[in-house]
């Protein structure tokens, strides 16, 4: 017969939900708030502890890995699709980011400047 260890029952976390929230760039606070709204009453510490047990990394490291693996590539894919569809703003932005393009600004410095200072 197994001996009852006592204490609270172990609280499990839904990694699939956490991963989905990471894929849309949610922060740890947003993840915890969402989980609690879904009747998964779970604390930041509990999620962090389960991630450490399961993956051997911190909650922040887990989120960062998921953001890099899913959220950023997904956003980049949508940006490219928008540019390919002819979104001029996206084409300009991507050109600046990846091709070193910039807006050309010309300034006319030929005007006279006078400064008046009134002393009391």
> First CA to last CA across the chain, in angstroms?
95
Residues 76, 77, 83, 88: is their CA dihedral positive or negative? negative
CA distances from 46 to 42, 50, 51, 84, 116 (A): 6, 6, 9, 44, 66
* 77: containing domain: 15-99
Query: Domain tally for the chain?
Result: 1
> Is residue 111 assigned to a domain?
no
> Is residue 9 assigned to a domain?
no
> Tens-digit pLDDT profile for the chain (120 aa)?
556 677 888 888 999 999 999 999 999 999 999 999 986 789 999 999 999 999 999 999 999 999 999 988 998 899 999 999 999 999 998 889 888 888 877 766 676 666 666 665
């Amino acid at each position: 017969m197994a001996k009852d260890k006592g204490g609270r029952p172990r609280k499990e976390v839904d990694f699939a939900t956490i991963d989905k929230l990471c894929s849309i760039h949610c922060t740890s606070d947003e993840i915890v708030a969402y989980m609690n709204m879904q009747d998964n009453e779970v604390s930041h510490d509990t999620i962090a502890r389960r991630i450490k047990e399961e993956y051997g990394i911190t909650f922040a490291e887990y989120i960062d890995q998921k953001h890099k693996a899913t959220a950023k590539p997904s956003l980049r894919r949508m940006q490219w699709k928008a540019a390919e569809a002819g979104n001029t703003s996206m084409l300009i932005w991507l050109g600046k980011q990846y091709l070193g393009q910039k807006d050309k600004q010309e300034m006319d410095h030929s005007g006279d400047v006078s400064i008046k200072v009134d002393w009391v």
